[in-house]
Amino acid sequence: MTGTIIENLSGRKLAVLVTFLLLCQVTCFLIGGLIAPTPANAQNILGTVCKDTTTMKNDTKTWFYNRGKGSCKTVDLGDMHQDLSETDVVFAFQMPVPRDSRTLDFSRWQQNLIGVLQVDLKYHSQMEVKPRSTITIDARLAYKNKGDADDAWKLYTQSVEKRHLDCDIDLKTEEYLYNCSAIPLFELGSLYHDFYLLNIRLPVDSPSMNTNIGHIQDLWLTVINQNGGFTKVWLSLKTIFFPCIIGILTWFWNRIHMLQRKPVLLEKMLLCLGIALCFLNMPFEYLTLHFDLPFMLLLGDIKQGVFYATLFSFWLIFAGEHMLIQDASAQSSLKQYWRHLSAVAMGCISLFIFDMCERGVQLRNPFYSIWVTDIGTNLALTFIILAGISTGVYFLFLCYMVWQVFINISQKRQSLPTMCSVRRLHYEGIIYRFKFLMLATLLCAALTVIGFILGQVAEGQWKWDESIELEYTSAFFTGVYGMWNIYIFALLVLYAPSHKRWPVNESTSDTQNLSEEIEFSPLPSEHNSEISSLTSFIRKTTVD
């Protein structure tokens, strides 16, 4: 009878393999904890209030900046004696800001840039801010690179956007500041240029525009970008894992084709899972070092979505194939799992539609955000909450399926004493190994679900509530990413067909050598529709 490598590998070799994989897992955590910096950086920039003395306002060739030759003339909004109109005021944000008198520039390793606006409003009894006021922002984003002149700013994008301004005040006293929520402003999917400049105007083109926002004292811009050092560590892991998974996947599929039978469902799912992991590991980020690719954030979400869908589907089928759900003579198919897979597919499709509504539109307009309207905010929060609840319910259902598998195996173990000693000890070893693998699967599923929920919360924390503070470490990101690769690598190795079979006759020497690897003869020409002897054993109605 044939089986898989996990069933026929000796205990000593299996221990060596498991030890090696655990060392790789620990290494991934240590790389994130000791080598990689924090995943993201945040920088607060105080807007410079510039006076627009030009006759033609909103000229795309005229830029206002506060550093370098040709910098703007600054004004103080608190000085009531200045002759200023709303059209004369421009808030300038030059990014990045210098540090220790050194001029800094963005690196393409930093991948993306998110801008969040904070408004400082001063209380005046005659200019009270109304609840849920609407602020209209005329925003223009420009860029330049090293070697360009100080005034050589080029237009990147521009847009007139409306945002809700939620403010409250603890003590209504003159000169006291309101507490206002953060305003999501823009999101760039690539950080291709060295310097960026944001010019903001607050237009009053109509009598009702920007009339209920009170007296603005300052504007702050918080820019968040991925840490370049973290990107280098992340890409290094991808560069290592990508060829390893391709190599083991090729070896696994070649081993399947050496058998004289068609691949079974679990083997096909393992192939799909390996392909999805290769797609996730593919280091497309190297292209951003040479090309401006603003769709990289969307592509990254699609890669993760494909991997999550395949991984969650595989776990359901992996548990289901070891349950008493069909006759031993019946061939497994996806039709048996259509209810489970439909739920996974609906969740992933919903998240994809939500992502296209956000980052898909941002490819055309980086200042767009689904969070700026009440309907969009409620829809986004609904998607995130449902995604978190769905993954939690999924994990509980997976735990239930694994528990059912353990019950089925325990029931079948009652027939083991009737077997010959070699066969009985062989099945007992297989069961212990399988239980260990299922517990490792549950641990991997738990960390994956936690990572998915935390990732959804982290993405929205700057957009719906500034008071949410979540601390993520690089060790968690690199550890979970390494866990996916190591876990799937182990599955491909351990569930590859073994080109060995049991000895026909029982003897004393055979029994004594069960602690070591039993040398089996080559595969017979018999047809076997099961991936392993364990699934065949579980589904048997009678045992020899």
| Residues 24 and 114: beta-carbon distance below 8 Å | no
Q: Distance between CA 291 and CA 108 in Å, rounded?
A: 10
For 54, list phi and psi in degrees, rounded to 5. -75, 155
pLDDT of the residue at 499: 63
Most distant CA atoms of the chain, gap in Å: 105
pLDDT of the residue at 425: 67
C-alpha dist (Å) from residue 31 to 146, 279, 485 = 33, 23, 15
Which residue, among 309, 307, 313, has the nearest Cα to 340 in the 3D structure?
A: 313
| Residues 47 and 115: beta-carbon distance below 8 Å | no
pLDDT of the residue at 79: 64
User: What kind and span of H or E run contains 397?
Assistant: helix 374-413
Q: Distance between CA 246 and CA 500 in Å, rounded?
A: 25
Q: What is the mean pLDDT of residues 275-298?
A: 92
Segment 125-184, tens digit of pLDDT: 777 787 778 888 999 999 999 989 988 999 999 999 888 888 888 777 777 888 888 888
What count of residues does the chain have?
544
Percent residues over pLDDT 70 in the chain: 81
The residue that leads in pLDDT, 299 or 329, is: 299
pLDDT of the residue at 517: 39
Question: Does the pLDDT value for residue 207 go beyond 50?
Answer: yes
Fill in the amino acid letter for 478.
T
pLDDT of the residue at 37: 86
The structural domains of the chain, ordered by start, are 3-39+229-502 (1.20.1070), 40-226 (no CATH)
Q: Distance between CA 497 and CA 148 in Å, rounded?
A: 61
**CB-CB neighbours of 508 under 10 Å:** 8
Question: Does the pLDDT value for residue 114 go beyond 50?
Answer: yes
pLDDT of the residue at 372: 76
**CB-CB neighbours of 430 under 10 Å:** 20
Q: What is the mean pLDDT of residues 506-524?
A: 40
Question: Does the pLDDT value for residue 542 go beyond 50?
Answer: no
Segment 343-379, tens digit of pLDDT: 888 888 888 888 888 888 888 899 988 877 778 778 8
> How does residue 526 score in pLDDT terms, banded at 50, 70 and 90?
very low
Q: What is the mean pLDDT of residues 79-103?
A: 80
Which residue, among 490, 409, 406, 408, has the nearest Cα to 444 in the 3D structure?
A: 490
Question: Does the pLDDT value for residue 324 go beyond 80?
Answer: no
Which residue, among 246, 240, 264, 237, has the nearest Cα to 488 in the 3D structure?
A: 246
Segment 231-272, tens digit of pLDDT: 999 999 999 999 999 999 999 999 888 877 788 888 889 999
Segment 36-54, tens digit of pLDDT: 888 888 889 999 999 887 7
Question: Does the pLDDT value for residue 521 go beyond 70?
Answer: no
